[in-house]
Chains A and B, each alone.
Chain A
Amino acid sequence: KNQVEQSPQSLIILEGKNCTLQCNYTVSPFSNLRWYKQDTGRGPVSLTIMTFSENTKSNGRYTATLDADTKQSSLHITASQLSDSASYICVVSKRTNAGKSTFGDGTTLTVKP
């Protein structure tokens, strides 16, 4: 069964600190991996999208990495802000079915002052 596993389930950090979220997947054949940010009560918003040939992609203070050989991805947040408090969701798509993605359960990040 295609799966996407995220860790940790939740994380609390102080404002200004860095953190790294993990995503392991077994989805195959791989098409792309996306990281989303979901604020409480809102729909997910795309942060980064990576295909097989990409191993790093940045979006401001967010940097995602992908190791397609080990089927692992990470999302690194630099100099965290209170507004980074949200759920971060890893999503992987199969090459054989463009839009039928597999979602992780998310990591809930809380940034405290």
Chain B
Amino acid sequence: NAGVTQTPKFQVLKTGQSMTLQCAQDMNHEYMSWYRQDPGMGLRLIHYSVGAGITDQGEVPNGYNVSRSTTEDFPLRLLSAAPSQTSVYFCASTLTGTSVHEQYFGPGTRLTVT
């Protein structure tokens, strides 16, 4: 299994540009989520999905859109990039349905908005 994969690894955008961060998992997990991590800070939840066709907002959703058409893929779209969105973005998938919720993270996408 590849686990959770993210592309691209690095990206530089200009203010106002749009782009999509890709995330895929091959573990058949229902729950997937996107986080951003700013320097010296903890991970903050942007959006999450409890299954295909279902998404919801997290702690910091403004400026981001998500969709979940398949169990495997959970792309994150930046509609109009702003310097405040410079961050490292992590995608995670979670094994639910048990008493513990093992969460698996991707390697991250480092985004710089100039």
Residues of A within 8 A of B (CB): 31-32, 34, 41-46, 49, 51, 89, 91, 93, 98-101, 103-106
What CA separation (Å) do A51 and B101 show in the bound complex? 10
Q: Of residues B40, B100, B104, B107, which shows the largest number of chain A Cβ atoms within 10 Å of its Cβ?
A: B100
Q: Which 4 A-B pairs have the closest CB atoms?
A: A43-B105, A99-B31, A105-B42, A99-B94
Interface of A is mostly: strand
Interface contact tally, CB-CB below 8 A: 62
Contact of A100 among B41, B58, B107 (CB under 8 A): B58
What CA separation (Å) do A107 and B77 show in the bound complex? 31
Given contacts A99-B96, A104-B42, contact A43 B90 (CB under 8 A): yes
Taking CB as reference atom, which chain A residue is nearest B99? Answer: A51
Q: Could you tell me the distance in whole angstroms from the C-beta of A10 to the nearest C-beta in chain B? A: 10
Docked-complex contact A41 and B101, CB < 8 angstroms: no
Given contacts A42-B108, A44-B105, A105-B42, contact A49 B48 (CB under 8 A): no
What CA separation (Å) do A100 and B108 show in the bound complex? 19
What CA separation (Å) do A32 and B42 show in the bound complex? 18
Which B residues between 61 and 100 are near A, CB-CB below 8 angstroms?
A: 90, 92, 94, 96, 99-100
